Structure 1
Amino acid sequence: MKKSLFALAALGTFAGAAHAQSSVTLYGIVDAGFVYANNIGGNKLYEPSAGNLQGDRWGLRGTEDLGGGLKALFVLENGFNAFTGKLGQGGDEFGRQAYVGLSSQYGTVTLGRQYDSVVDYTGAFEVGSQWASFYAAHPGDLDNMNNSNRVNNSIKYASANYSGLTFGGLYSLGGVAGQFNRNQIFSAGLGYAQGPLVLGAGYFNVKNPNFSFFGNNSTSSTTASNMTGSTVYSGYASAKTQQVITAAGAYTFGAATVGATYSNTQFKDLGQTVGTGLNPHGLSGNAKFHNAELNFKYQLTPALLLGAAYDYTKGYGVNDAKYHQGVLGADYFLSKRTDLYFDAIYQHASGTDSTDHAAVADINGLSPSSTSNQVAAVVGIRHKF
């Protein structure tokens, strides 16, 4: 249940701005469970795992009616770990989102730390953002469809809904004196929803991704690699540009939904971003990936959802790594706000990865396997308020 707090006076820090046409909503998600992996560097893993289906969070969302169809709005959203209470997103207080803006019949313009257009228009189609956990995201979340990275210093536009068609874009200023293009980010996307059919497409282009996109938290390094999360891309921290193109769709018939996603991710001009140890293997040229996912979910009963998905990633350019990934899952709703879930993920890797070694299985959110195969299972409970 969301708690609407009117007149802002209930929040002492905003008391001076309170009036009858304003509202603030407190909301959040607490998601906690346990994960098992059969091979983490040659050893089995059993550990608590938080934010599995959705990241743990609490936030404040507010609007003010300015008259004439114009509204002011803001969102402040904090991420945390339910098991430890530790802040997420590198320790940033509002690391998930923080923005303010204006909305009218012509759309919405916001300023702050925000999601890119790939997340906005295609992220919801992949299973890692649906009934499966973040462990089921595309390997390394290399296309950011699972929203691993946010965008700082951004200006964003989201259109109104025109008979099911929506579109938008984002631009982030790099903030480097004398180097206008350094660290800049821009993205665009569009979506269409009509009856049982939903479609989306997204694009983003990131200059110096190691520092601008992966290194966008208060604890990020300003000289060394911030792209250490996965062997799928960790060798490409010296790339001058990261480019991602995505397309996705879903069709619902009765209790079943079939969905698909495609992304092309490129780390361009390797060796062109300078820093400490960013290019230990002396790579040059471009590292590229095709990724395709096919997913299916079925509402077996009003309370029980079953799902299955297959994902294929193919590297080309300076690498030839391949990753096959299968996912099975179930989500049981005790109420509209509380559910229990289970997911199992299998991944097989082959070829040569970004570290210039034989590719090993590296399920998103886990450390790499010592072999080409890795299996993980997660079970937990999620509550929304």
Structure 2
Amino acid sequence: MKTRNLAALTTALVASAAHAQSSVTLYGLIDTGIGYISNARTKPAVPSIGGSSWSQITGIINTSRWGVHGNEPLGNGLSAVFRLESGFDSTNGAFKNGGDLFGRQAWVGLTSETYGGVTFGRQYDFMVDFVAPLSATGSGFAANLAQHPYDNDNLNNNMRLNNAAKFSSVAFNGLQAGGMYAFSNEAGGFGNNRAYSFGLRYAGGPVTVSGAFLQVNRSATPSEANATGAVSTNDGDALTTGGRLQIYGAGVQYAIGKSTAGFVWSHSSTEDVTGILQGGSTTTGALHGHGIKFDNFEVNGRYFVLPMFSLGASYVYTMASFEPLTGATSRPHWNQVMAQADYRLSPRTEVFLEGTYQRVSGGNGNPVFDAGIFNLSPSTGNNQAVVSVGIQHRF
């Protein structure tokens, strides 16, 4: 009897210890401020009507979010992991990502301390994971207001991949690799709105170099649309609509302490394009043609004047080529400058002043090619300025 009780007690203690090693963490970020926007459209249906705007803005640097992530050690360096993450508008409490509860991320998988991790669900591609950290936008220091036009290269991670199986290795002598495949989940349409991505990153000493590729295979024919495939087209997250989307790019960053300097180049193209991300949603029919291509060139730098105070800036030159169904090819190009001052009140709370100016030329009068910064109201013409002051708190 005593032996059975001792065995039961030992089993309970082992189970309790294993449970204690597991973790589920609630986390989040709230980013809100006051912003000035020049030449903002007041009637989206009439792009020429607008004016200056003062308003409260959410997600100036980073989109407000909350989530939970978990880790359960399984032994021998293997763990079960998951993440559920929801975006929201901190000015009114509304859901982002078309109202999806966990529209930012929703995945589960296994990770190995020796080899890396395999995860399944709604996830980011390797342009986001490997190239974006070297940019000012996305996971870079300035994020949203430093977004490249229309986020055409997804470095600001507006687009996620559904139904994705993803592998990311651990770093071997500074080299890390990854690959992923996102299923169309369509019966009889295995290749209709499927995607794949891969990337490489090397970090050695003060230098980090990365490159990545992403392709989404889909049909531009409306009757063949697969809205819930690898890239959702019913939640406003798609960068473009139409045929095949291809994105690739590379970047390099040099660090001195916490201060950094970087350069990023990226290319994107959409065949048989029918719409593009503008003003916070993917507008269809506004840009209808045989195809559109972008090349983005960015230089950026961030300098820590004090351990808690930094100054940052970026310059982006973007050139595009749009071939309409009829008429001459348009070759718009953008010049965009961003500057930021950031002061950390604590490890979790910071206040900031950030501004962006963008100017466009060569749009041939197409309002889609008017200036537009992040998901704010596009300009009524070829230039726009945004200046914001805000606070960001992490929990």
With the length of structure 1 as denominator, give the TM-score of the two structures: 0.84
Alignment deviations for residues 49-107 of structure 1 (CA, whole Å, 9 cap, x no partner): 11222221111111111112211111111211222111121111111111110111111
Paired amino acid for 1:109 = V
Q: Distance in 1 between matches of 2:37 and 2:230?
A: 26
- Distance 1:186-1:300 versus aligned 2 partners, 3 A rule: same
How far the C-alpha of 1:269 sits from its partner, in A, is 3.8
Match of 1:98 in 2: 106
Match of 1:53 in 2: 61
* Unaligned 5+ runs, structure 2: 1-15, 42-49, 221-226, 275-282, 324-329
Matched, 1:263 2:266: yes
Match of 2:34 in 1: 34
Match of 2:152 in 1: 142
Give 3-state SS (helix, strand or coil) of 1:52's partner.
coil
* Unaligned 5+ runs, structure 1: 1-15, 221-225, 272-276
Matched, 1:208 2:218: yes
Matched, 1:329 2:334: no
- The match for 2:313 among 308, 315, 340 is 308
Q: Distance in 2 between matches of 1:103 and 1:141?
A: 30
- The match for 2:380 among 347, 370, 373 is 370
- Distance 1:208-1:36 versus aligned 2 partners, 3 A rule: farther
Matched, 1:119 2:119: no
Match of 2:202 in 1: 192
Give 3-state SS (helix, strand or coil) of 1:65's partner.
strand
Task: Give the paired residue count.
Answer: 350
- Distance 1:280-1:307 versus aligned 2 partners, 3 A rule: closer
Q: Distance in 2 between matches of 1:119 and 1:281?
A: 25
How far the C-alpha of 1:252 sits from its partner, in A, is 1.7
Q: Distance in 1 between matches of 2:150 and 2:74?
A: 43
Q: Distance in 2 between matches of 1:363 and 1:59?
A: 27
Counterpart contact for 2:146–2:314, Cα < 8 Å:
no
How far the C-alpha of 1:208 sits from its partner, in A, is 2.8
Q: Distance in 2 between matches of 1:184 and 1:320?
A: 30
Match of 2:300 in 1: 295
- The match for 1:349 among 349, 360, 371 is 360
Q: Distance in 1 between matches of 2:100 and 2:201?
A: 31
Counterpart contact for 2:213–2:248, Cα < 8 Å:
yes
Counterpart contact for 1:31–1:381, Cα < 8 Å:
yes
Match of 2:248 in 1: 245
With the length of structure 2 as denominator, give the TM-score of the two structures: 0.82
Q: Distance in 1 between matches of 2:137 and 2:256?
A: 22
Match of 1:155 in 2: 165
Give 3-state SS (helix, strand or coil) of 2:128's partner.
helix
- Distance 1:256-1:23 versus aligned 2 partners, 3 A rule: closer
